Amino acid sequence: MRLSRSWTVVILGFFALSLSFSARSALQVALPFWEAEFGWTRSLGSLGGATALITSALMAILAGTMLSRIGARGVLAGGLVGLAAGLALTAAIDGRSWQFLLVYGGIAAVGFGLVSQSVISTVVAWTFTERRGLATGIATSGATAGQLFLLPALAAIFAGLGWRWAYLGLAAASLVMLALVLILLPRGADAGAAARKQESGGVSVRELATSPVFHALFWSFVICGFTTAGVIETHFIPYATLCGFPPVTGATAYSLLMAVNFGGVVLAGWLSDRMHRPLLLGGIYILRGLAFFLLMNITGDPAMLAAFAVMFGLFDYSTVPVTASLTASHLGLKIMGTAMGLLAAGHALGGAAGAILAGRLFDLFARYDGVWLISVGLAMLAGLISFTIRENRGGKLVPAAA
């Protein structure tokens, strides 16, 4: 595949993730509006977010198999159709909780699960042999770039025109992205690239269950989901509001987090081509955990709010290109679609647990401190787990951890 075609995959993946993750993160902007209009509790909003993550987990498992059978075009197109339908129907809910759980937690979440970092990173790994880490970092950084530019605009639309128009706009953007994928995505991306066909060795699906490397990556990624999609992406803006900041200020801080996140993902991808990846991954988790101490001290202090956004943003999605790189080298390209699908499922389930727990603790105690402390401990554990993986740059697949 020529370089121009390879980078077309990266660019389309970047913009598809921008849209998918912005639509998912819009939930935390919408929650205060729904609570005021429909009288919903924080637990119900958290349950909707958790339901979406569970659905995403199921779709992520299917996506790994679907990539090999119907190709990237089919997977991404199906995801964007689900995204458009689910977001349009979300704009029509009338306050009945089952509607929210069905259309957002079910239909839209099909799109979240198929238009995902695991799908994009797998297709990029199949497409690139050199500069794979950098290409993965750039493509998956779309998940943060979209939130950087779209989330403040969505917050303004929520406040000015109303939440229904915001979700209709996201649905329309999904249809535009669908057309771009069908027209521009190289058909070579459907084949999975020659490198995947030519690779010898690797582990089988059955061997994943007993691979220490897979387990290290899986359980650390479960914790990754808890500490990002679960507690921050669902509860950061409501928490900032609780600490006395207006919703637009909270959304702006979240955009700062995403701005730094964008650079952090690209930097992590670049570093994963050059340094000891298990040490890099473990260090990211540990420093992410320390950022929660800043979060617990943001009340009435815009500087502390900004400091948290910068520190957490640097170590947020930066786990993705490193994890994808380790999956490709230690488990093999042939099994990478399935392995990344399972890792994404674990990430989503961890996120669901974090969203539910944070919402429940808030309804019980009207504060978030407990879940922030839990997040610190779990992030430290993920770092220690990552340190058990052996580095491998010699081309042989590594079946076990140290």
pLDDT at position 393:
63
Between the two ends of the chain, the Cα-to-Cα distance in Å is: 37
- pLDDT band for position 1 (50/70/90)? very low
C-alpha distance from residue 110 to each of 70, 144, 275 (Å)? 16, 20, 36
**Residue 200 pLDDT class (50, 70, 90 cuts):** very low
**Other CB atoms closer than 10 Å to residue 206's CB: what's the count?**
7
Give the H or E element holding residue 90.
Answer: helix 42-90
Q: What is the pLDDT of residues 26-73, one digit of tens each?
A: 887 788 788 888 887 777 877 887 788 788 888 888 887 788 778 888
Q: Which domains does the chain have, with CATH numbers?
A: 3-386 (1.20.1250.20)
pLDDT band of 279, cuts 50, 70, 90: very high
Residue 115: closest CA among 181, 191, 190? 181
pLDDT band (50, 70, 90) for residue 304: very high
pLDDT band at 380 (very low <50, low <70, confident <90, very high): very high
Nearest CA-CA partner of 104 in 31, 16, 182: 31
Q: Which residue has the higher pLDDT, 200 or 328?
A: 328
Q: Residue 277 in contact with residue 267, Cβ under 8 Å?
A: no
Task: Kindly report the average pLDDT of the chain as a whole number.
Answer: 84
Measured CA distances, 231 to 237, 315, 363 (Å): 10, 15, 14
- Tell me the average pLDDT across 234-252: 85
Residue 195 in this model has a pLDDT that exceeds 90: no
pLDDT of residue 399: 41
Q: What is the pLDDT of residue 204?
A: 62
Contacts of 178 (CB under 8 A, 6+ apart): 77, 80, 81, 84
Tell me: pLDDT of 300 over 90: no
Phi-psi region of 295 (alpha: psi -120 to 50; beta: other; left: phi over 0): alpha
Half-sphere exposure of 42 (CA within 13 A, CB side): 22
- Percent of the chain surpassing pLDDT 90: 36
The model's pLDDT over 112-149, given as tens digits with 9 standing for 90+, comes to 989 988 888 888 888 877 777 788 888 888 887 877 77
- Mean pLDDT for 316-329 is 91
Would you state the pLDDT for residue 252?
A: 83
In tens, the pLDDT along 346-358 reads: 998 898 899 889 8
More confident residue, 92 or 203: 92
Phi/psi at 331 (nearest 5 deg)? -110, -25
CB atoms within 10 A of CB 175: 14
> What does the pLDDT read at residue 194?
45
The CB density around residue 3, as the number of other CB atoms within 10 Å, is 8
In this prediction the pTM is 0.76
pLDDT score of 198 more than 70: no
Exposure of 337 by Cβ count < 10 A (0-12 exposed, 13-18 middle, 19+ buried)? buried
pLDDT greater than 70 at residue 234: yes
349/280: higher pLDDT? 280
Tokens for 268? 């992590």
